[in-house]
Amino acid sequence: MKKIELKGIITPILTPMNADESINLGELRNQIERLIENGVHGIFPFGTNGEGYILREEEKAAVLEATIDQVKGRVPVYAGSGCISTADTIRMSKKAQELGADVLSIITPSFAVASQKELYHHYVEVAKNVDTPIVLYNIPARTGNKLLPETVAKLAKDVDMIVGAKDSSGDWENLKAYITQTRDLNKDFYVLSGNDSLILPCLQEGGCGGIAGCSNVYPKVLSSIYELFVAGKLEEAQKAQDSIASFRSVFQYGNPNTVVKKAVSMLGYPVGDCRKPFNDLCEEGIEALAKVLHENEEKGMH
């Protein structure tokens, strides 16, 4: 297994698209450069913000190949390889490993309700078939399945290949339990916040950072939360954490990853819209987003 330290702000990079919804690999490479130049600590294709749920397998392969080629080892590449079935997850995880991903981010199965026992065996079976570090990915609002802290702790203890967990539940007590229940293992286990508003609390509790959708919009600001925390500048880290609240408030008007992609587009980058039907932001939302982007630009946020 590759030995890798998970840390900092990992960007679940959006997938740029042309007007016909084909993938814009040139702009993907441009976004990767923009993110790395602004200090992000990892690039994660096929997260929620990357629309992994709606990309075909051959598109995922093309995006991952281009990402790995452009990153050139400067930061780790996390590949979202989770599917609904165990067999499909194994196949996609092997493909991501073959293409050179540094870490596999494996979302829980979705749609059908899974017991904790079923989720445990799902991850155990996947881990048997790869030798790339695995990060568990909990986002119950999207999948319908919650990965409980005790299940995370058992997987962390029992499976060497499982080295971390991302919690996007937005439930601070759940995220905190991920950290506290894996703290005393005989190995490094990395817990990442998947909720951008909980990055600093996660770090303060003993987590290692966040997979932050908002870093597509404000990579420098999000990265600084981690850098300032590590430097012991907690007051400044808190200010950086608080500064993204106004942008996150726009999420009330639509799907968060639609808002994020629209924001990057409004900043002047040709990333296109989210793939239909998930691409609409009401006029009120567009006005609110334009206002927040302008205000934050005045503050020097980027």
Tens of pLDDT, residue by residue, the chain (302 residues): 778 889 999 999 999 999 999 999 999 999 999 999 999 999 999 999 999 999 999 999 999 999 999 999 999 999 999 999 999 999 999 999 999 999 999 999 999 999 999 999 999 999 999 999 999 999 999 999 999 999 999 999 999 999 999 999 999 999 999 999 999 998 899 999 999 999 999 999 999 999 999 999 999 999 999 999 999 999 999 999 999 999 999 999 999 999 999 999 999 999 999 999 999 999 999 999 999 999 999 999 99
Q: How many residues comprise the chain?
A: 302
The pLDDT tens digits for 229-243 are 999 999 999 999 999
Catalytic residues: 137, 166
* Residues 63/28, Cβ–Cβ less than 8 Å: yes
As a CATH number, domain 8-233 is 3.20.20.70
Which stretches of the chain are assigned E, i.e. beta strand?
Answer: 8-11, 42-43, 78-80, 103-107, 134-138, 162-167, 190-193, 209-211
Burial 181-195 (b: 16+ CB within 10 A, else e): bbeeeeeebbbbbbb
Quote the pLDDT of residue 229: 98
**What mean pLDDT, rounded, does the chain reach?**
97
Which pLDDT score is estimated for 3? 83
3-state secondary structure of 163: strand
Three-class SS of 73-85: CCCCEEEECCCCC
What does the pLDDT read at residue 186?
A: 85
173 CB burial (10 A radius; 0-12, 13-18, 19+)? exposed
Q: Distance (Å, rounded) from C-alpha 50 to C-alpha 13? A: 5
Predicted pLDDT of residue 231:
98
